[in-house]
């Protein structure tokens, strides 16, 4: 009997994208497969069964896909953290460093109420820069982050350790060595 497919089996690797030497982990192949997508969402939800979560926060952009599906399953609201200039209302901003430069993310200043329990979601945890910036935004609004969930961890880049040093609980579905 063949072994059951895992989330990792649905993820495509593209060599030298976006730069030479990078092994890009492409989750669009996971999203495009109904069974693979269902497995990922179910596995991302599993650790939070029975927890009181008020909102799911998705990090731009693939975190929107995952976060929307997870929020739907939990019957809670979804909040996007977006790149600078993409949200129409009053926002708070956070600058952070990327592997190849700097960026800014924003959150509507009325998106999260003090004391709300938050689950942060994205597809990939690399250096943790985007997630750390998002966490700081949520905390500035008084949100209580219960956990951060990702499909992929790239442990060699230190993102998990960075988030754990911030006191975050981190859950991932699979990991890849290297860049």
Contact criterion met (CB below 8 Å) for 63 and 119: no
The span from the CA of 38 to the CA of 91, in Å, is: 33
Active site residue ranges: 62, 99
Torsion (CA) 14, 83, 32, 171 in degrees, nearest 10:
80
* β-strand partners of 101: 98
Residues in the chain: 179
146 token code pair: 């219960």
Backbone angles phi, psi at 157, to 5 degrees: -95, -5
The span from the CA of 28 to the CA of 125, in Å, is: 16
Instruction: Go through 34-53 and write b for each residue having 16 or more CB atoms within 10 A of its CB, e for each that does not.
Output: eebbebbbebbbeebeeeeb
Contact criterion met (CB below 8 Å) for 151 and 44: yes
């Amino acid at each position: 009997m063949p072994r059951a497919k895992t989330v990792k089996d649905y993820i495509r690797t593209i060599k030298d994208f976006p730069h030479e030497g990078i092994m890009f982990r492409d989750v669009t192949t996971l999203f495009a497969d109904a069974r693979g997508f269902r497995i990922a969402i179910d596995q991302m939800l599993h650790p939070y069964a029975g927890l009181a979560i008020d909102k799911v926060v998705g990090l731009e952009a693939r975190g929107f896909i995952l976060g929307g599906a997870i929020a739907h399953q939990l019957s809670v609201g979804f909040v996007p953290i977006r790149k600078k200039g993409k949200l129409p209302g009053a926002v708070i901003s956070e600058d952070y460093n990327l592997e190849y430069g700097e960026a800014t993310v924003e959150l509507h200043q009325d998106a999260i109420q003090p004391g709300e329990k938050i689950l942060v979601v994205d597809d990939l945890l690399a250096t943790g820069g985007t997630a750390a910036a998002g966490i700081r935004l949520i905390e500035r609004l008084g949100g209580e982050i219960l956990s951060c969930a990702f499909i992929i961890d790239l442990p060699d880049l230190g993102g998990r350790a960075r988030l754990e040093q911030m006191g975050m609980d981190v859950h991932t579905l699979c990991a890849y060595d290297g860049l």
